[in-house]
Chains A and B, each alone.
Chain A
Amino acid sequence: NAGVTQTPKFQVLKTGQSMTLQCAQDMNHNSMYWYRQDPGMGLRLIYYSASEGTTDKGEVPNGYNVSRLNKREFSLRLESAAPSQTSVYFCASSDNNEQFFGPGTRLTVL
Chain B
Amino acid sequence: QKEVEQNSGPLSVPEGAIASLNCTYSDRGSQSFFWYRQYSGKSPELIMSIYSNGDKEDGRFTAQLNKASQYVSLLIRDSQPSDSATYLCAVKRGYGRSSYKLIFGSGTRLLVRP
Contacts and interface: CB of A to CB of B under 8 A. Distances in A.
Interface in A46-76: 48, 50-51, 56, 58
Contacts of A94: 99-100
Given A58-B101, A90-B44, A103-B43, A98 B49 contact: yes
Interface string B96-110: 101111111111000
B99 A42 contact: no
Q: What is the interface residue range for chain B against chain A?
A: 20 to 34
B8 interface: yes
Contacts of B105: 42
Contacts of B44: 43, 90, 101
A42 B102 contact: no
B100 A31 contact: yes
Interface residues of A, number: 24
A42 B88 contact: yes
A98 B88 CA distance: 14
B46 interface: yes
11 contacts: A31-B98, A33-B101, A43-B44, A45-B103, A48-B101, A96-B100, A97-B49, A98-B46, A101-B44, A103-B42, A104-B43
Given A50-B96, A50-B98, A104-B43, 17 more contacts: A30-B98, A30-B99, A31-B100, A41-B106, A43-B44, A43-B88, A45-B101, A50-B95, A56-B95, A94-B99, A97-B49, A99-B46, A99-B102, A101-B44, A102-B43, A103-B42, A104-B42
